[in-house]
Amino acid sequence: MDFITVPDISVLVLQLMNGLTRAMILFIIASGLTLILGTCGIVNFFHGSLYMLGAYLCYSLALFLGNYWAALVLAPIAVAFLGGFIEVALLRRIYKADLLMQLLLTFALVLVASDVVRLVWGPAYKMLEAPSIVAGSISILGAQWPNFAGFILGLGPAVALGLWFFLYKTRAGRIVRAIALDEEIVSILGIDVRRVLTLVFMLGCLLAGFGGALQAPLVALNITMDSSVIVESFIVVVVGGLGSIWGALLGAVIIGVTHSFGIMIMPRVALVSIFVVMGIVLIVRPWGLMGTPLSKLAR
């Protein structure tokens, strides 16, 4: 069994932490995806490209401003406005169209975005250094672990809590949930549904861009980073349950940890492990771990 390696405890801890860090970024991206899916009903294949744009914009802004934190705030906002523009110009026309139209339109946008990034930033890998305040590392059970990853680890649940508060404790959030249930009734009540949908879409895009901006100091940026993330985000959304924020958090943790332990224990099957998880969930519990069986999206 030469392809199974048994590591010691510090490596295990490190791997768990890495998996969780990855999971939190994945959650932030996937929460935007699930929000757009649950409210606008759009299967947004373009989401991975928005994440990539967020990462590249953050890279350029951080170099230009000399300050990562400013870039971390500005890049997602820029991505959100781009998303808003696309929603008004293109996606709004296909809300009533079927799944295929949405796939095709957003896929066309994926192709365009991928070459635009190549045109603007070039095909070479880009590296951004971790911001200095959190550049150090702490030691957990003998494993050296970067502070920046700790920052992200705390951020994930904070975003989840924020989204939950917004959706369940504010008036605007109630309107969003009402639209997810029945658009027509909400519009009869005198609410401009189209504008709300645009804003929700922008919020989803903001989260994708935010995920990208957080990822920027962690990995080398490249022009194929959109395709792996979009597939993983969809897996997270499906495993968690379509439209469910807490489901996305749970799904992201499962997928992130599965992947990171998969790489360590059996590198050869790491790629497939997340698809196996999704396959099992879809066969045993098709509506997702935290979804509801009668959700209109699960049919």
Partner 1 sequence: MTLVSTRRWPWAAAVVIILIGLSFFLPLFYIHLAATMLCMVLFAISYNLILGYSGMVSFGHGMFLGIGGYVYALLATKTSVPMWLSLAAAPFVAGISAAIVGWFCTRLRGILFAMLTLAFSMMVYSLAHQWYGFTGGDDGIVGIPVPKVIASEQSYFCFVALVTMSALLVLLRLTRSPFAATLTGSRENIERMGFIGIELRRYEIVMFAISGFFSGLAGVLLSLINRQIFPAWMHWSTSAEPIIMCMLGGSGTFFGPVIGAVVMTGLKYWLPTYTIYWQLVLGIILLPLVLFFRRGISGFVMNSVMSRARK
Q: How many CB atoms lie within 10 A of CB 188?
A: 10
Shortest distance (Å) from residue 269 CB to partner 1: 7
Which of the ranges 70-78, 94-102, 176-184, 208-216 carries the binding residues for partner 1, by CB under 8 A?
94-102
Cα first-last separation, the chain: 43
135 forms part of the interface with partner 1 (CB under 8 A): no
The contact mask relative to partner 1 for 256-275 (x = CB under 8 A, - = no) is ------------xx-xx--x
Nearer to partner 1, 172 or 272 (CB): 272
Question: What is the SS3 assignment for 5?
Answer: coil
Q: Identify the helix (H) or strand (E) that includes residue 100.
A: helix 99-121
109 forms part of the interface with partner 1 (CB under 8 A): yes
120 forms part of the interface with partner 1 (CB under 8 A): no
Whose structure tokens read 């339109």? 105
Shortest distance (Å) from residue 246 CB to partner 1: 19
105 forms part of the interface with partner 1 (CB under 8 A): yes
For 122-214, strand residue ranges (E) read: 137-140, 143-146
Which of the ranges 6-14, 67-75, 213-221, 278-286 carries the binding residues for partner 1, by CB under 8 A?
278-286
Comparing C-alpha atoms, which of 29, 31, 59, 51 is closest to residue 209? 51
Backbone angles phi, psi at 260, to 5 degrees: -70, -35
Question: What is the SS3 assignment for 145?
Answer: strand
Residue of 25, 53, 75, 110 that binds partner 1 (CB under 8 A): 110
Which of the ranges 113-121, 147-155, 169-177, 213-221 carries the binding residues for partner 1, by CB under 8 A?
113-121
- How many chain residues are in contact with partner 1, going by CB under 8 A? 42
Residue of 21, 31, 34, 114 that binds partner 1 (CB under 8 A): 114
Q: Which of residues 213-242 bind partner 1 (CB under 8 A)?
A: 227, 231, 234-235, 238, 242
Q: Which of residues 21-50 bind partner 1 (CB under 8 A)?
A: 43
Q: How far, in Å, are 90, 217, 223, 273 from residue 50 at the CA level?
A: 15, 17, 12, 26
Q: How far, in Å, are 6, 39, 84, 281 from residue 277 at the CA level?
A: 22, 26, 34, 6
CB within 8 Å of 75: residues ≥ 6 apart: 54, 55, 57, 58, 61, 209, 212, 213
Site for partner 1, rule CB under 8 A = 43, 90, 93-94, 97, 99-101, 103-105, 107-112, 114-116, 118-119, 227, 231, 234-235, 238, 242, 268-269, 271-272, 275-276, 278-279, 282-283, 286, 297-299
